[in-house]
Chains A and B, each alone.
Chain A
Amino acid sequence: MNEINDNPNELQNSQKGISNTTIAVLIILALVISIIGTWAVLNSLNTQTAIKSGSNGNTAVVTLNVQSPDVNTATGRITFTLT
């Protein structure tokens, strides 16, 4: 013989399929992820600021050192015609 559930809240939750507690946990989780993400982005930007501050003001210096080969050859010719 089946029992009759006369509690309105439990009846409502069973119809939704997910409880308010579960939704609250998910929202808190999203909140935590949002905070961590924001902190990570700001921390990254701070790192870029440090890199920029460490450069030579607004002047970028690019030094290119070109080393030529150590060996070079040249070719000449010796000719004559015997008739």
Chain B
Amino acid sequence: MEISNKTLAWFVIGAVVVSLAGTLASFKSSSNVMTGYVTSNDSGLAQVDVSQSVILRFAINTTNFGSGSINSSGGFTYCNLMINGSTTIYKYGCEGFNNTNSGGPDAFIIQNAGTSYLNVTINITGNASTFIGGNITVASMKYAVSANETNSCPGIMYNTGWTEVGPPNMSTVICSNMSWQNGRNTIRIGMNITIPNDAPSGSRSVTLIAQGTNI
């Protein structure tokens, strides 16, 4: 069957009408649903929740015994130094070793400045043999843990008496549950060293690393 030109013209007109109708329908619909439109009634709310923070810091991060020597003229064969929360350094058999820190000497103070209870460990990069030297039966490097503020460690506090530092870099738990509440979130670590008279002279420095783990 042959299609006339008139029929073809009607087809073309129909196609144009359908196309225009579709275009108009699209424009009409899009004006109501496009989400990019902003009206005076629109508002936004951004909510940020920080569930917990783990922040362990040193409130006092240096134990500095200063400079001095063994009081050999006084007949002493070793020098014992101790810092554990007092404003003065305890000294026995020593000359010098006057702490120069402003505000006087103090032990390490570790603070739980976050918002979660922590399991706290420490490790020290040296011990009596590597940090002090000399006669190893005399040389000693000890630490003692205590609550700087009452109830700062409601869990188990370890090594509350003077405890010899173990092998370098060995982690040791000092508090199984350290509080973060204000007024009871600090722990003190006192240091006690004994220097034999045959220890090599010179400056010494060792690092104490405290680590808090969320529990």
Binding site for B on A (CB under 8 A): 9, 19-21, 23-24, 27-28, 30-31, 34-35, 37-38, 41-42, 45-46, 48-49, 51-52, 58-83
Contact = CB atoms under 8 A, between A and B. Distances in A.
A27 B12 contact: yes
Contact of B47 (A58, A63, A77, A83): A63
B184 interface: no
Given A59-B44, A68-B54, A74 B214 contact: no
Interface centre among A59, A67, A80, by most chain B C-beta atoms within 10 angstroms, is: A80
Given A72-B211, A77-B208, A24 B46 contact: no
Interface of B: 1-5, 7-8, 11-12, 14-15, 18-19, 21-23, 25-26, 29-30, 32-35, 39, 41-58, 60-69, 81, 96-97, 108, 110, 114, 124, 131, 191, 193, 195, 199-214
Would you call the interface of chain A mostly helix, strand, loop, or mixed?
A: mixed
B177 to A, nearest CB: 15
Nearest to A26: B11
A63 B45 CA distance: 9
25 contacts: A20-B2, A20-B5, A27-B15, A34-B22, A35-B22, A41-B26, A45-B30, A59-B45, A62-B44, A67-B51, A67-B52, A68-B53, A74-B56, A74-B57, A74-B209, A75-B207, A75-B208, A76-B63, A76-B208, A78-B131, A78-B205, A79-B64, A79-B65, A80-B66, A81-B204
